[in-house]
Amino acid sequence: MAKYQAPLKDARFILDEVFAAEQEWADMAATEEVNVELAEAILEEGARVTQAELLPLNLSGDAEGARFENGHVTTPKGFKEAYRVLAEGGWMGLGGNPEYGGQGMPKMLTVAFEEMLYATNTSFALYPALNAGACLAVDSHAPESVKQVFLPRMYAGDWLGTMCLTEPHCGTDLGLIRTRAESLEGDDPLLGLPRYRLTGTKIWITGGEHDMVDNIVHLVLAKLPDAPPGTRGISLFLVSKHLLDADGQPTTPNAVSCGSIEHKMGIKGSATCVMNFDGAEGVLIGEPHQGLAAMFTMMNYERLSIGLQGLGLGEVAYQSAMDFAAERLQSRAPTGAKAPDKPADPILVHPDVRRMALEVRVWNETGRAFAVFVGQQLDRVKYHADDAVKADADALVQFMTPIAKALLTDRGFDATVMAQQLYGGNGYCVEWGAEQYVRDARIAMIYEGTNGIQAMDLVGRKLYRNRGAHVASFAALVRAELERQADDAQTRPFAEACKTELARLERVSEQLLARADDNPEELGAAACDYLNLAGLCVYSYLWLRMARAAAHGLAQAGASGEGFYRRKLALGEYFVARVLPRAVALEAQISAGAAPLMAFSLEDFAPEQ
């Protein structure tokens, strides 16, 4: 059965002891009022509300699913009520701009709350997750009147936002979209902006239609009549489900409707809608033809958020599996009975069961530190006064974002699969919940840019286009940490491992740049393995920092507090000994280059008949 308590202790360790969050927040005007006490209070209340309201609806929400009838979507029983509790608690505007009613909390902190949302109820979590992204796009690119009308309602959770990108014939390649926007006579009276009429069909729109709020705010990619072809001809529009009166109150329905919802492998409580725009009224967000750039403002945030889906599901899968494993007795330990009074030993006596448990746990705990690290860089880009700090942070965000999205979701999925394996046959039966985590985690590798697209983004835009400048920024950060720990005997094995991985990343990057100059196919051929290799290097750096914090904590802790730090160090040793060796294989696979992939013609992929 589902067992989950938000990992507050680990979040505190990462924020306070690894990343000195309070100091970080004090350094920036926008976050200077955030301190450890406030952060603590937010995380504790976040844990309470998600555990009380969302966790109990997870299994039932999957069984019931979102339902579609006559253009209306009904969310599973209890979702609406739980949503009201969260909205009234102010959780929809947690990271929002305080000028418009948001709470202005740093991403470094909100990632911990997002993880809880996904862990307790991924289907539910997607409604607020999309809203947060839509708010960010509006805040960054919309005219002032739009912000004033829409943001306070969206932060309050009275209205919820969506992102409408994909069309039936194109997802990855948005340059192919067909939805068109035409000028309408006369400005919008409330917003004082030119009006457009949008026509087209969008698919896979999360929360495109549902019963939780009175109004839904669609951000829609479309082409203006004079649009240049391809991705340079895409504009971004805001389309409100209802037209608004002079007071900004929803009135007549706009010409946008839900045609159907998808039947999916998982996230069944999340309504995935086909949205038909039949001349729907909307306003332009940002500059004409610059819609994709506007979308990319939110992409870095959303991609990290989807990474947190993988992490949250990995964590709840771990906790639930450990609850099962503690009770399940099968066979005896290889070194003799550990529970001789019982008919068999708990399965965790078996080394191979431990391997699965630690494999899940190590990706969760390292992933959590990674999310906070990326959150820190996002905050610096957004808020830091020092341009040099900002520029460094921006380089790191660019490089880390595709890694965060793909690695956290790939390893999150693996974590749910391995946690399911720990149950034996029970893991395959619906009532235990383990199989739902697998199904819910699977989509995270696909949406918000498939993990293959993330890998291509990494090797193409983030490595090749700047000739490795981002790698150099990261390397400088790692070297500074290695320097700081040069005399630390306790963390030496972690420093050695990190040094090895950094050298590998630099070597592989350099070789790949050289090969790609001759043949651009080399980038794609290396992409996925390179992302994983870079991820292992980043994780070895995070373990260096965590090991130092844990060694320090261990030295300070009394007997009652030492367990946490001892386990953290042991998990780090597991990482170095049993996870990092995979980098050697990745390097060899990358070295093999594009030739083995390109030896096949397009027709060669057809099944042999």
Q: Is 448 a catalytic residue?
A: yes
Q: Does 349 bind a copy of itself (CB under 8 A)?
A: yes
Is 526 in contact with 534 (CB distance < 8 Å)? no
State which of positions 204-243 bind a copy of itself (CB under 8 A): 204
Q: In whole angstroms, how far apart are CA 482 and each of 23, 192, 475, 566?
A: 21, 56, 10, 22
Token pair for 550:
């844990």
The distance of closest approach from Cβ of residue 463 to a copy of itself in the complex, given in angstroms and rounded to an integer, is 14
Q: Does 523 bind a copy of itself (CB under 8 A)?
A: yes
Token pair for 534:
């870079």
- The span of 30-38, 77-85, 218-226, 585-593 binding a copy of itself (CB under 8 A) equals 585-593
Which is closer to a copy of itself, CB of 53 or CB of 529? Answer: 529
- The span of 90-98, 387-395, 400-408, 595-603 binding a copy of itself (CB under 8 A) equals 595-603
346: buried, middle or exposed (CB in 10 Å: 19+, 13-18, 0-12)?
A: middle
The distance of closest approach from Cβ of residue 397 to a copy of itself in the complex, given in angstroms and rounded to an integer, is 23
Q: C-alpha angle 443/208/311, rounded to 5°?
A: 30
Helix (H), strand (E) at residue 69: strand 67-69
CA separation for the pair 148, 252 (Å, rounded): 21
State which of positions 290-319 bind a copy of itself (CB under 8 A): 318-319
Q: Does 528 bind a copy of itself (CB under 8 A)?
A: yes
Which is closer to a copy of itself, CB of 159 or CB of 539? Answer: 539
Of the candidates 296, 141, 278, the one whose C-alpha atom is nearest the C-alpha of residue 199 is: 278
Residues in contact with a copy of itself, shown as a per-residue x/- string from 424 to 453 under the rule CB under 8 A:
xx-xxxxx---x--xx--xx-xxx--xxx-
- Which of 30, 59, 243, 344 binds a copy of itself (CB under 8 A)? It is 344
Token pair for 303:
């991609």
The distance of closest approach from Cβ of residue 357 to a copy of itself in the complex, given in angstroms and rounded to an integer, is 6
Catalytic residue, candidates 448, 481, 501, 522:
448
- Which of 284, 495, 508, 527 binds a copy of itself (CB under 8 A)? It is 527
Q: Does 605 bind a copy of itself (CB under 8 A)?
A: yes
- Which of 266, 375, 402, 412 binds a copy of itself (CB under 8 A)? It is 266
Which is closer to a copy of itself, CB of 284 or CB of 408? Answer: 408
- Which of 386, 520, 555, 561 binds a copy of itself (CB under 8 A)? It is 520
Residue 373 Cα to chain centre, angstroms: 13
Q: Is 246 left (phi over 0), alpha (psi -120 to 50) or beta?
A: alpha
- Which of 243, 389, 391, 594 binds a copy of itself (CB under 8 A)? It is 594
Is 236 in contact with 291 (CB distance < 8 Å)? yes
Rounded to the nearest 10°, the torsion over CA 317, 323, 328, 333 is: 90
- Which of 355, 479, 492, 507 binds a copy of itself (CB under 8 A)? It is 355
CA separation for the pair 505, 491 (Å, rounded): 21
Q: Does 492 bind a copy of itself (CB under 8 A)?
A: no
Which is closer to a copy of itself, CB of 82 or CB of 119? Answer: 119
Q: Does 559 bind a copy of itself (CB under 8 A)?
A: no
Beta strands at 72-74 and 67-69: parallel, antiparallel or unpaired: antiparallel
Token pair for 13:
């360790």
What is the rounded end-to-end Cα distance, in angstroms, of the chain? 46
Which residue has 């291509």 as its token pair?
456
Which is closer to a copy of itself, CB of 193 or CB of 308? Answer: 308
CA separation for the pair 96, 103 (Å, rounded): 5
- Which of 1, 36, 476, 584 binds a copy of itself (CB under 8 A)? It is 584
Q: How many residues does the chain have?
A: 609
Of the candidates 290, 181, 276, the one whose C-alpha atom is nearest the C-alpha of residue 235 is: 290
- The span of 120-128, 147-155, 278-286, 413-421 binding a copy of itself (CB under 8 A) equals 413-421
Token pair for 154:
């969206």
Q: Does 322 bind a copy of itself (CB under 8 A)?
A: yes
Which is closer to a copy of itself, CB of 20 or CB of 598? Answer: 598
Which is closer to a copy of itself, CB of 158 or CB of 573? Answer: 573
- The span of 84-92, 146-154, 335-343, 389-397 binding a copy of itself (CB under 8 A) equals 335-343
Query: What amino acid positions are annotated as catalytic residues?
Result: 448
